[in-house]
């Protein structure tokens, strides 16, 4: 397992975002609502014959329920204590790495999932580029992200700022625009409450 979180960038932040999750790791799945596996499976167009990456997946709370629908499921996260919790779920591989320096070859994953995590990435634009790099042509990336345009999410953003979490909330339309500039074909699905889905298909070579 790769420990990639001890460099200058981590030291500059007096309260690195992973520290909060390190503390919460043992209780995280008890604090969070159960994952709606059917919604994720539908948007990811599962089952698939290839591998699935859960980027920023922490304890594997979501991807554990998707493991039967992919050949291999990898949870990649910054927090080592969160990843240790993911090992309690059968069928998950755990990898510790920075989101903007993923230790995977180009096109390694047929599906990529990011749940409630883009705003925790220190360099979201670079992370999105990495996610598109490791996504196989013809594959799909699905992002579930709080919509900063909604007032409940603005309150969450304020709370995270007060907790020194150094979050970086981007409007879903901005995330989609970045992914389009990287060659993806994004579309937005608004849940109507506080979160949005960004569903991105990566064209095959020569695809129009």
Q: What angle do CA 97, 103, 104 make, to 5 degrees?
A: 135
pLDDT for residue 31? 52
pTM of the model: 0.81
Task: Write a three-state SS string for the chain.
Answer: CCCCCCCHHHHHCCCCHHHHHHHHHHHHHHHCCCCCHHHHHHHCCCCCCCEEEEECCCCCCCHHHCHHHCCEEEEEECCHHHHHHHCCCCCEEEEECCCCCCCCCCCCEEEEEEECCHHHCCCHHHHHHHHHHHEEEEEEEEEEEECCCCHHHHHHHHHHHHCCCCCCCCCHHHHHHHHHHCCCEEEEEECCCCEEEEEEECCCCCCC
- Where exactly are the structural domains of the chain? 8-201
Answer CATH for 8-201 from 3.90.110.10, 1.10.3720.10, 3.40.50.150, 3.90.1300.10: 3.40.50.150
pLDDT for residue 34? 54
64-116-179-189 Cα dihedral, nearest 10 degrees: 90
pLDDT for residue 116? 85
The residues facing 109 across adjacent strands are: 135
Under a CB-based contact definition with an 8 Å cutoff, are residues 86 and 92 in contact?
A: yes
Q: What are the mean pLDDT values of the chain's consecutive 10-residue runs (208 residues total)?
A: 32 45 48 70 97 93 92 92 86 92 98 91 94 99 85 66 68 95 94 83 86
């Amino acid at each position: 397992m790769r420990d990639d979180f001890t460099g200058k960038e981590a030291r500059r932040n007096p309260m690195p975002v992973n520290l909060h999750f390190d503390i919460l790791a043992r209780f995280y799945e008890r604090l969070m609502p159960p994952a709606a596996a059917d919604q994720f499976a539908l948007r990811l167009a599962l089952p698939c014959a290839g591998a699935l990456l859960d980027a920023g997946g922490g304890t594997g709370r979501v991807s554990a329920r998707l493991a039967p629908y992919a050949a291999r499921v990898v949870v990649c996260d910054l927090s080592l204590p969160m990843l240790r919790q993911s090992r309690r779920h059968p069928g998950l591989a755990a990898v510790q790495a920075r989101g903007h320096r993923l230790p995977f070859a180009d096109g390694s994953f047929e599906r990529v999932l990011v749940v409630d995590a883009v705003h925790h990435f220190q360099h979201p634009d670079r992370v999105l580029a990495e996610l598109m790099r490791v996504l196989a042509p013809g594959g799909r990336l699905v992002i579930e992200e709080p919509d900063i345009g909604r007032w409940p999410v603005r309150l969450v953003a304020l709370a995270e700022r007060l907790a020194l979490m150094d979050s970086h909330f981007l409007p879903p339309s901005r995330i989609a625009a970045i992914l389009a500039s990287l060659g993806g074909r994004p579309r937005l699905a608004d849940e109507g409450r506080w979160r949005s889905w960004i569903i991105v298909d990566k064209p095959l070579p020569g695809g129009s």
